[in-house]
Amino acid sequence: MASYVVGDVQGCFDDLMLLLDEIKFDLYKDKLVFCGDIVNRGGQSLQVLRWIYAHQYCCQVTLGNHDLSLLAQYFVPKFRKSRNIEFKTIFAATDCSLLMNWLLKQNILIYLKTFKTIVVHAGIYPNWSLKRARKEAKMLEVILQTDPINFFKNMYGAKPNHWHKKLKGMDRARFVVNSFTRMRFLYKNGGLNFKAKGELSTFSKLIPWFNYQPQKHRKAKIIYGHWSTLGLFYKNNTICIDTGKVWGGQLTAFALDENMQASKHIFQV
């Protein structure tokens, strides 16, 4: 049995199928973990959703910002954008409700204990321990499943951008969702910056989350996506596998085992 983490698919269904051929994926023995943004921009988001839903017995999904945007537009129709043909196709599908309610139940963070590996979409806030990160992720998952309309009505926004244990309600939920699904750079004081999204050298006064100290969760490897300008990138026991397929790059799968040597575990199409 083999396990793989797959980078941002973003609706590139044909390429996902090519990647599965490349790794010789066995539907009945192997496992896939998607690190978020399975939909949007690639033109085949409905096919991606349907395939993962049909094969959920061998697939796990962490939610990315594009997945949450899709859910927000489904549960709060006033957020829908007429120019997003891809989402309109999903909303018009006969199985839309089935797929959206399934997507809503997916993970914010997946901890693969056997491999000592965490899978998230954007990263883990540096001042959080693994225990804290898992607790905040679980809190968010509960909110999504119990009160999605209120959550999505209030999800958008960049404030608060500093963590404090006393944060409550939507302020806390918004910080948590932004950390897990939108984070790239931090200010020196630990605040999240959501405007900077390019290459590391472009923003010398900001600190990428994986370089910020302290890092309380370094005993586990973190695999994430979200940052396509990084490409395949290794730093401080973290691995970015968003290699920008939707932007003309590649779709990446990372093979997991208990003694990972990264260069031997990358598959791309």
Read off the tokens for 114: 């056997």
For the CA atoms of the chain, what is the radius of gyration? 17
* Residue 269 CA neighbour count, 13 Å, CB half: 17
Cis-peptide into 160, omega within 30 deg? yes
Report, at the CATH architecture level, how domain 3-268 is classified.
Answer: 4-Layer Sandwich (3.60)
DSSP labels, 29-69: T-EEEE-S--SSSSS-HHHHHHHHHHTGGGEEEB--HHHHH
| Residue 109 burial (10 A CB sphere; 0-12, 13-18, 19+) | buried
Q: How far is CA 66 from each of CA 37, 63, 235, rounded to the nearest angstrom?
A: 5, 8, 25
Closest to 224 in 3D by CA, of 39, 4, 22, 6: 6
**To 10 degrees, the CA torsion angle through 176, 262, 241, 266?**
-150
pTM for the structure as a whole = 0.95
d(CA 173, CA 142): 11
How far apart CA 13 and CA 193 sit, in angstroms, is 32
Contacts (Cβ under 8 Å, ≥6 apart) of 263: none
Residues of the chain with pLDDT under 70: 215-218, 258-264
Alpha carbon distance 63, 4 (integer Å): 17
